[in-house]
Structure 1
Amino acid sequence: MKTSLMALGLLHCGLIASQICMAASRPNILIFFADDMGVGDIRTYNNHTNNPGAALPPELPNLEKLADQGMVFTNASTPAGLCAPNRYCILAGNYPWRGSAEGGSWHFNKGSQFLSGQKSIAVVLNEVGYHTAMFGKVHLGGRVWPKEPNANDPAEITNWDKANPHYNPNKPADIFDFFAADFTRQLYTGLSQQGFDYSYLTYGGIQGGPYMFFENDFVVPEENPTDPNDPTKDFIYWEGDNYANDNGSSQIFGSVESYGMPSWKTNEVGPILTQKTIDFIDRHHSDNLTNNTDTPFFIHYCAQAVHVPHTPPIDFLGTKVAGETGDGDHADMLLEIDVAYGKIEQALADRGLLEDTLIIFTSDNGGLKPAVQKSTHDSNEGLRGYKATIYEGGHRVPFIVKWGDGSTANSPIKPATTAPQLTSILDIYQTLSELVDNVQGEDQGLDSVSFLSVLNSASPANQPEFRESVSYLGTRFIDDSLDPESAHRAIIIDGWKLVAEKASPHTPKDLYQLNVDPTEANNLINDASQADRIAAMHLALTNMLNSSRSTAAPTPSDTSNDSTPPSTNPMAFTGKPQWLGDDSIWMQATIAYDQSGPVEYKFRELSGNGTSSDWQTSPYYTDTNIDPTLDYSYRVRARDLHNNKTSWSEIYYLYGNDHGNNQLGDLWEIQYYGSAGSILPDEPVSGWAGNAFGAYAFASDPADPIGPAIQSGLADDTNLPTFSLVRSDDQRIIWQVSTSTDLTNWQIITEGTDYSVSTSQLANNQEQATITLTNTSEDKVFLRITAKSAE
């Protein structure tokens, strides 16, 4: 998509043709979110202002070029001093205390950090047509399905099986019994519910379990799995140790021993994530070319580097890394970040996408303390504190934005410019929402302010401040002890920083004038001349913590003329209706998005004695107090605020006294015979050809096939039938046959052994055949179902 050089100017072109104006300026978007990278870790920021004569960080040519070709924000920070809360902040535009856990939801079995109704920036972009993807470290919580007997109760699993040889009562409470979780299913709550069309993730990063990848919230199995249907068959317990391999060394810390896949290597995670990102870019670009479309993408890349364990790869997709800086493993992993970014940027350039991609590079918190990073340079460039502390070293991060080819003439964002305004990673939310003309209402992005006016300026250094204040949450006490009860808060207003106790009434502890004392060396808390300032800042901090939002509510995008139904149209089931005990049926709609705001769902019961839902905001529905002996069927649709409705989903059926698996039973091997067509469990048959009928053979012994179906001419070769698998298990298959004309023109013929068949007329153009086995002890059981024109 070629972006006009006037793109950013067009963002404020007024109400006339605003949608056309905005649509023409929607670029691809890449957020590259580094881990534990401080402002002192890149030479662009490490200019020795605060620590003259100190060693320089390693050269990072790709990131330094990015800074030269983009806009460098010199006063950017994160709301929290640790990564997990900030991973929520950057996606939600909210301070961490507005999520489910102020300190972050670190583990994938502890519930989502997003509260119901909170929309991630991926949802916002998805609503206006972006193809969204996330790669890398998560730390946003989630939930897994437990195994029987509570397979439909998504409660968190926390209890170890005490017979497990790895059970340790002294382990952290967040360790849970991996073998009580059903890893054959998609995570009950994961990133798929946060607006990402595709994901390839490590829910615990490289520093904690589970030591495995998740693709679209399914466990990625081993290349040659023991059991393709059960990834847990390959799980091993990773004990704390160093594990040498062909590409360097992998490391597991003793404090975070956990289960994972045998192929796990901490030094290979970065190259794998980068390759998966390049593969996504390939698919996206190819789809646009094939379909003659111009769909933009949003990629949220969450690097594992430079978090411990510091295990850089020897080879990173053809580029040498380990040992290349000569300054230790931490410096080599900084180089790994640079290489990863460079590979992704080159992939965009090779496909002609780079000039039309808005790139934001930043980090999840401040840099590491010297005892951890062990490099000769200062990761925080002389600032006081480091990761987890309340001081600037724990919160200040690199923040670089680029859009264009790097030249002044062909870049909507002016290259080689500096923006000194107070900025937070929170502000990405409203900035991107405004950029794509999908500004949200007052209940979203509660602490985010758009800096689009700064990006739009040829002289960003002369632009006024766009945010009045910013708040911090640190988890280390001022004396450097790690005590959650003694953690601190801070607020920055007009260059002044007040540090206060975390607990109410938030007693002030420190006061610094950052404009003249950036290293926080001079505490003015006892300066009598600052008493009024301290009181005012303390009140501002208290009010912020008690507020429903801390920033002015943006003006939502004008959707009054919206006539488009929500995305996912026609609607579909993500969690297809299934029995929940003997008297309830549970189901989940595919999550839909709409630029007008919240989406509602309606579940309709078509047969049985259950109840249809009213319009509701939740995509989940449980039909209760039903008769387990009856048959049931359901469908679902969605609507937006303007009552634009999707089409109904396909009908899904459940059958009484049959509470097993709703998919094709293991007994059946489908063998299709006919001139054309395809068939999959739970999917319609497609691709019928002219002068032939369709025949389907089912055999329990695929090594002994049934043989070809008899070919026959058709009296009606236009209105050909569609077969749909409705329900099956090891004793029964139920097929539904539909045609576009009256079914009396057709007849169903069944052939086989050891079965009984019954048919029922559902409608003039629909008939259902139920085939029940009468002898399942045979070595081979087969049958054919044929629909052909009646002669």
Structure 2
Amino acid sequence: MNLIHGSPVAVFCLTACFAWLNDASSADLAQRPSVVLILADDLGYGDVQCLNPERGKIATPNLDQLAQQGMTFTDAHTASSVCTPTRYALLTGRYNWRTRLQSGVLWGYSAPLIAEGRLTIAELMKQNGYRTACFGKWHLGMDLPTTGGPAPTVRKPKIVNIDWKGAIQNGPTDVGFDAFYGITASLDMAPYIYIQDDRFVGECEGGKGKSAMVRQHDFNTRDVLPEIGRKATEYISSQDGKQPFFVYVPLTSPHTPIVPSAEWVGKSGLGKYGDFVMQTDDVIGKILDAVDARGLSKNTLVIVTSDNGCSNAAKIPELQAKGHYPSAHLRGSKADLWDGGHRVPFFVRWPGVVEEGSRCDQTICQTDLIATCAEILGKELPENAGEDSVSFLPAFSGQTIRSSRAGIVHHSISGHFGYRQGNWKLLLARGSGGWTSPNEKAAAKAGAPFVQLYDMENDPGESDNLSSSHPEVVERLLAQLESDVARGRSTDGMASRNDVATIKLWKSGEE
């Protein structure tokens, strides 16, 4: 795969493709590209064979084929190294730490994180004539109906007072999706029950004293991944091509519980995690096959990525002992500030616009999806939307991304901050800022400095801390990070407000 450097043919193709956008009418709807956005859960950069040919041992034929059919982004990042905050940023184009969620994730009963009136990609697309649907793991909170009193707020409440026949509010169908089928959060969080649109599918058993086991009687965690795939493929297969659609498919795999279906057990030779990655690749392939079989591929933008790096629950040391490195050449994994926590697979396919087998090495963030979709539609985002989003549409034709953002903010599970600008990466942490050793406690005990600075071009494995030899770079990046936080946005535009009054940048002390 080669980086395209904006050939005249590619530029002409992109220009011609979007000539209709500025004056779209009802007749243009059929010409607008549909969008399929698939988000894997805890899939590491090195778990995809074509991204890690030397040290990757899991077969991922569908993702490899997708890379051959489109563009691979080699320096794509999530806004956080864990689930909920990444999903918030992906859908809204705004960093999660601007909300109440300063660290960690939400639970299965949690209240919604997306505020009323906050523009999402789904709402943007819906306003512009798209059908919109979501199938899979929501994990952004919703107001669950109760039999009395407030809904639970913790992961394992002592009493579960959910009204299983009541209507759910402020869930997916209230933030832009016409249809939803999936679950509230991760498969290691109750309640274990499907939701269709704004209603539970059945009722759960369990309650006082058994809150962690609140489950619909025939709900089986092993069936959820294939069920999500079936729902997504059925929806795509039902489209007639006359009205564009936006489908968001947040998968539940290969996140814990690691439960590959029986036919996948033993396929990888690396244990259940490898098997689950292979099944995830297969489900992605089935969704892409549905696009192709319906004759929609030529006018459908497909994006496949992950919400963060591989989790320690995959038993990374055991995988490495067998020759598989889930983070490839990168340091760290899920939850960390090091790149293994948030640099993720990112593939784009759009025949006639994105050249087959192409590659982009420019740095992007998943916050950029809403601005990219807006540019595809020929629309300007409102001042109070997508405050941290930059369109990477020019990269589709090999052009330089025109960014008003100085850099990208990284964030770990514990709320530690990092900042990437060009080749430089600043970490306001002593260690990983997450789960990988040394964590912050161990790094502090070892006397590690408060800050880390890496040259990502020459040291992508983040092994040589240059903070003491380049204090001027530390000072410059820190000042920019402070500005991006204080302004309520990292892009050009009117200053905005964060949802909280105080955001603590230094979690492990300050020099």
- Smaller-chain TM-score bracket: 0.7 to 0.9
Per the TM alignment, residue 371 of structure 1 is displaced from its structure 2 partner at its CA by 6.1
From 126, 132, 152, the equivalent of 1:157 is 152
Q: Which structure 1 segments of 5+ residues have no match?
A: 49-53, 159-172, 222-230, 241-255, 289-293, 316-320, 405-410, 476-483, 555-791
2:497 alignment counterpart:
none
TM-score, normalised relative to structure 1: 0.55
1:537 alignment counterpart:
477
Do residues 272 (structure 1) and 213 (structure 2) align?
no
From 395, 400, 421, the equivalent of 2:347 is 400
Do residues 301 (structure 1) and 282 (structure 2) align?
no
Do residues 284 (structure 1) and 242 (structure 2) align?
no
Map 1:591-606 to 2 at 5 A. Answer: none
Map 1:98-177 to 2 at 5 A. Answer: 98-103=98-103, 106-148=106-148, 155-158=150-153, 173-176=154-157
1:381 alignment counterpart:
328
**What's the secondary structure of 2:37's corresponding residue?**
strand
Distance in 2 separating the partners of 1:443 and 1:22: 28
Supply the AA of the counterpart residue of 1:184. K
Per the TM alignment, residue 6 of structure 1 is displaced from its structure 2 partner at its CA by 6.8
Aligned length: 463
Change in CA separation of 1:17 and 1:219 when aligned onto 2, cut-off 3 Å: closer
Question: Is contact 2:301-2:348 (8 Å) kept?
Answer: yes
Distance in 1 separating the partners of 2:48 and 2:314: 19
**What's the secondary structure of 1:339's corresponding residue?**
helix
1:32 alignment counterpart:
38
Change in CA separation of 1:295 and 1:177 when aligned onto 2, cut-off 3 Å: farther
Distance in 2 separating the partners of 1:20 and 1:420: 37
Distance in 1 separating the partners of 2:401 and 2:38: 27
Change in CA separation of 1:16 and 1:47 when aligned onto 2, cut-off 3 Å: closer
Supply the AA of the counterpart residue of 1:71. M
Per the TM alignment, residue 102 of structure 1 is displaced from its structure 2 partner at its CA by 2.7
Per the TM alignment, residue 236 of structure 1 is displaced from its structure 2 partner at its CA by 4.0
Question: Is contact 1:78-1:425 (8 Å) kept?
Answer: yes
Change in CA separation of 1:454 and 1:212 when aligned onto 2, cut-off 3 Å: same
Change in CA separation of 1:15 and 1:147 when aligned onto 2, cut-off 3 Å: closer
**CA distances 1:433-484 after superposition (whole Å, capped 9, x unpaired):** 11122331111011010011111x1xx2x63674531011113xxxxxxxx4
Change in CA separation of 1:17 and 1:488 when aligned onto 2, cut-off 3 Å: closer
Distance in 2 separating the partners of 1:23 and 1:189: 28
Change in CA separation of 1:390 and 1:194 when aligned onto 2, cut-off 3 Å: same
Per the TM alignment, residue 341 of structure 1 is displaced from its structure 2 partner at its CA by 0.9
Change in CA separation of 1:378 and 1:333 when aligned onto 2, cut-off 3 Å: same
Supply the AA of the counterpart residue of 1:397. V
Per the TM alignment, residue 388 of structure 1 is displaced from its structure 2 partner at its CA by 0.2
Question: Is contact 2:392-2:401 (8 Å) kept?
Answer: no
> Relative contact order, CA 8 A, sep 6+: which one is greater?
2
Change in CA separation of 1:515 and 1:44 when aligned onto 2, cut-off 3 Å: same
Per the TM alignment, residue 117 of structure 1 is displaced from its structure 2 partner at its CA by 2.2
**CA distances 1:302-341 after superposition (whole Å, capped 9, x unpaired):** 11111111110024xxxxx221122111111111111101
**CA distances 1:97-128 after superposition (whole Å, capped 9, x unpaired):** 12342336523532211123211100000001
Do residues 362 (structure 1) and 300 (structure 2) align?
no
Change in CA separation of 1:417 and 1:30 when aligned onto 2, cut-off 3 Å: same
Change in CA separation of 1:328 and 1:110 when aligned onto 2, cut-off 3 Å: same
Question: Is contact 1:366-1:380 (8 Å) kept?
Answer: yes
Question: Is contact 1:8-1:25 (8 Å) kept?
Answer: no
Change in CA separation of 1:519 and 1:358 when aligned onto 2, cut-off 3 Å: same
Q: Which structure 2 segments of 5+ residues have no match?
A: 1-10, 434-439, 441-448, 495-511
**CA distances 1:3-55 after superposition (whole Å, capped 9, x unpaired):** xx97731366499746689756411110010011111001221144xxxxx4x
Per the TM alignment, residue 143 of structure 1 is displaced from its structure 2 partner at its CA by 1.3
Quick check: which one's strand share is greater?
1
Change in CA separation of 1:135 and 1:6 when aligned onto 2, cut-off 3 Å: farther
Distance in 1 separating the partners of 2:416 and 2:100: 19
**What's the secondary structure of 1:413's corresponding residue?**
coil
TM-score, normalised relative to structure 2: 0.84
**What's the secondary structure of 2:484's corresponding residue?**
helix
Do residues 500 (structure 1) and 418 (structure 2) align?
no
From 332, 335, 340, the equivalent of 2:275 is 332
Do residues 262 (structure 1) and 217 (structure 2) align?
yes
Question: Is contact 1:121-1:429 (8 Å) kept?
Answer: yes
Do residues 208 (structure 1) and 189 (structure 2) align?
yes
Distance in 2 separating the partners of 1:180 and 1:236: 11
2:408 alignment counterpart:
470
Distance in 2 separating the partners of 1:347 and 1:12: 25
1:430 alignment counterpart:
371
Question: Is contact 1:469-1:491 (8 Å) kept?
Answer: yes
Distance in 1 separating the partners of 2:22 and 2:257: 54
- Taking every aligned residue pair, what percent have the same amino acid on both sides? 29
Q: Which runs of 4+ in 1 moved over 6 A?
A: 237-240
Change in CA separation of 1:47 and 1:339 when aligned onto 2, cut-off 3 Å: closer
Quick check: which one's helix share is greater?
2
Distance in 1 separating the partners of 2:401 and 2:71: 16
From 484, 487, 496, the equivalent of 1:547 is 487
Per the TM alignment, residue 545 of structure 1 is displaced from its structure 2 partner at its CA by 1.4
Distance in 1 separating the partners of 2:165 and 2:94: 33
**CA distances 1:123-171 after superposition (whole Å, capped 9, x unpaired):** 00000111111111111011112224x5xxxx4335xxxxxxxxxxxxx
Change in CA separation of 1:439 and 1:392 when aligned onto 2, cut-off 3 Å: same
Distance in 2 separating the partners of 1:157 and 1:312: 30
